[in-house]
Chains A and B, each alone.
Chain A
Amino acid sequence: MSNVPTDLKYTKSHEWVKDNGDGTVTVGVTDHAQELLGDMVFVEVPESGRELSAGEDCAVVESVKAASDVYSPVSGEVVEGNEELADAPETVNSDAYGEGWMFKLKLADSGELGGLMDAAAYEELVASES
């Protein structure tokens, strides 16, 4: 069973969102997503300053098996991309919710967070897809 921390929010496309409490959020892909994709071999994150709309594809994770787009869960400006992942894509497998984070956003509208799933709803989604 995948790990689904209760202090995070989730999307249907398997991203997680952490509210940093200072108007920014951190985004990554869930443990379930990394498990489905398998061994990561390439990660591309968005550059700082890029404006993203909710649902926009903005990053890529590629496992030895396949490429998968990562979508921005909310709208905002990228304040940091996790450059460490370029040389260590496997971090997404080993620590999806920690060192495997992908980018940080300055929220355009904090109200958008309310539209995301909580851990219980996400667990239900994962169960329904397996």
Chain B
Amino acid sequence: MAKTPLYDKHVEMGGKMVDFGGWDMPINYGSQLEEHKQVREDAGMFDVSHMTVVDMKGEQVIAFLQKLLANNVAKITGKPGKALYSCMLNEQGGVIDDLITYYMNDSWFRTVVNAATRDKDIAWIEKQAAAFDVEVIVRDDLAMIAAQGPNARDKALSVLGSECAGAGELTPFFATECGGKFVARTGYTGEDGFEIMLSNDEAPKLWQALSDAGVKPCGLGARDTLRLEAGMNLYGTDMDEEVSPLEAALGWTLSFDEGRDFIGRGPLEALKAEGAKRKMVGLVLTDRGVLRGHQKVVAEGIGEGEITSGSFSPSLGKSIAFARVPAAMGDTCQVEIRGKLLNARVVKFPFVRNGKSCID
């Protein structure tokens, strides 16, 4: 199994290690619920070094990314450190991956790809880059630590030191380079915080320093319940190459600018014109039980759907889920759990943002 540069730290700090898509990662350090709460109320950190940083450099990098990504990098061009969330689609308009891309300068962008999709992503990016004057550089020399929570930035800034004082001025979805690190005010929890990329060698030292400053180590279990509450999709679970972003609640990330020929545009426009048959919605279970991925959703008289991600929401004290359902489904439905049909209602997500419930 693959190990991140923080593996020894996880073991030393009591992480319960599990096989996470071929990576030996901490699922929790004792209690997933406590770690979830720690991030919502104070500050926690995650090792996300299993994700891969890819730098793209060259004179034609802007034109290349306007072809590669379904969102338009023109939105961030000229704004150093600005981040953009986008899908990378195949020719059929299915999602190869979702990723965050940062503008560094006119000939350099940086993107972060998911761990499970790394190899196919890199192969796809390199294949598309061949037609452009663009160099694709896989940054396996970089580790990544996400410090998240209402107090995460203050605690992280105290550790990062005066070199990174400028990181304290970042507005959300911006990043800066400082002291040999790349510090971004981004995350996957619905809380404020930083994602910090730094050399593999430096990572254990920063992890320890953050821990000493009260940013508690958290496992990937809490990361999943946090991102679900925050209404954020998980690749491979909520969408994949067979699913259109229009049926994965990602329509807001698509940029149909006049004349921009991005990969997958044709099929997306066709689907838009005829109207998507399915939609992704948020569910809250009103009966007792726990929603889980793959449970069947029944909309009486309309049709059936499926839960894509479901869990108990530690912040709300009830069960929540994303489900892909018939487009005509209304405000309520039922979910089949162990042979019984239980009642659920449809809600807008996020479910929780900045420590507060967003549902009625």
Residues of A within 8 A of B (CB): 38-39, 41-42, 44, 60, 62, 64-67, 86
Contact = CB atoms under 8 A, between A and B. Distances in A.
Nearest to A39: B33
A64 B312 CA distance: 6
Interface centre among B225, B311, B312 (most CB of A within 10 A): B312
A57 B251 CA distance: 43
Nearest to A35: B16
Contact of B312 (A41, A44, A60, A86): A41
Interface string B30-70: 01110000000000000000000000000000000000000
A42 B31 contact: no
Contact of B33 (A64, A66, A86): A64
Nearest to B16: A38
B138 interface: no
Interface stretch (B97-105, B202-210, B288-296): B288-296
Contact of B338 (A38, A60, A64, A86): A60
Given A38-B221, A41-B312, A42-B312, A62 B290 contact: yes
B350 interface: no
A42 B290 contact: yes
B267 interface: no
B312 A62 contact: yes
A95 B83 CA distance: 47
Contacts of B312: 41-42, 62, 64
A67 B31 CA distance: 17
B292 A42 contact: no
A33 to B, nearest CB: 15
Nearest to A43: B288
26 contacts: A38-B28, A38-B31, A38-B32, A38-B221, A39-B31, A39-B33, A41-B312, A42-B288, A42-B289, A42-B290, A42-B319, A44-B288, A44-B289, A60-B338, A62-B290, A62-B312, A64-B33, A64-B221, A64-B225, A64-B311, A64-B312, A64-B314, A65-B27, A65-B221, A67-B292, A86-B288
A65 B289 contact: no
Given A41-B290, A44-B288, 16 more contacts: A38-B28, A38-B31, A38-B32, A41-B312, A42-B290, A42-B312, A60-B338, A62-B289, A62-B290, A62-B312, A64-B32, A64-B221, A64-B311, A65-B32, A67-B292, A86-B288
Contacts of A62: 289-290, 312
Contacts of B288: 42, 44, 86
Contacts of A66: 292
A60 B28 CA distance: 23
A39 B32 contact: yes
Q: Is the interface of B mostly helix, strand, loop or mixed?
A: mixed
Interface centre among A39, A67, A86 (most CB of B within 10 A): A39
A116 B27 CA distance: 33
Nearest to B32: A64
A84 to B, nearest CB: 14
A39 B222 CA distance: 11
Contacts of A39: 31-33
A86 B288 CA distance: 9
A67 to B, nearest CB: 7
Contacts of B314: 64
Contacts of B292: 66-67
Contacts of B28: 38
A67 B310 CA distance: 12
Contacts of B225: 64
Nearest to B318: A41
* Top 9 A-B residue pairs of the complex, sorted by shortest distance between their CB atoms: A41-B312, A39-B33, A62-B290, A42-B290, A64-B32, A64-B312, A39-B32, A39-B31, A38-B32
A41 B312 CA distance: 7
Contacts of B32: 38-39, 64-65
B33 A67 contact: no
A44 B288 CA distance: 9
Interface string B320-360: 00000000000000000010000000000000000000000
Interface centre among B33, B288, B319 (most CB of A within 10 A): B33
Contacts of A86: 288
Interface centre among A64, A65, A86 (most CB of B within 10 A): A64
A64 B319 CA distance: 10
A42 B27 CA distance: 20
Contacts of A64: 32-33, 221, 225, 311-312, 314
